[in-house]
Amino acid sequence: MRKEKLLKYLKKLTDLLEKIGKAFYKTKENGTGLGLIITYKIIEEHQGSIAIQSSMGIGTKVEIFLPTA
């Protein structure tokens, strides 16, 4: 992959990851764009955290951490 193409790809991935979790951002035509923001709020209210790692063309890994009772 040429350097310019790689930089363009990385910019696109960075832009996408910055938008994830913001209210009303959606990637599906029929979505509301509220799924992750609601998820974040529920996890936050339980004193937990969420980590998202994504690789374009490979997949996304989501980890949810909640404290033990």
Cβ(21)–Cβ(37) below 8 Å: yes
Q: What is the pTM of this model?
A: 0.53
Phi, psi dihedral angles at 18 (to 5 degrees): -70, -30
3-65 homologous superfamily: Histidine kinase-like ATPase, C-terminal domain (3.30.565.10)
pLDDT at 55 over 70: yes
Residue with tokens 């992750």: 36
Note the pLDDT tens digit of each residue in 1-40. Answer: 577 776 776 677 666 666 666 666 666 677 766 677 788 8
Q: What pLDDT is stored for residue 1 in this prediction?
A: 52
Nearest residue to 48 (alpha-carbon basis) of 28, 18, 68: 68
Higher local confidence (pLDDT), 44 or 32 = 44
d(CA 1, CA 13) in angstroms, rounded, equals: 16
pLDDT at 41 over 80: yes
Q: What pLDDT is stored for residue 24 in this prediction?
A: 61
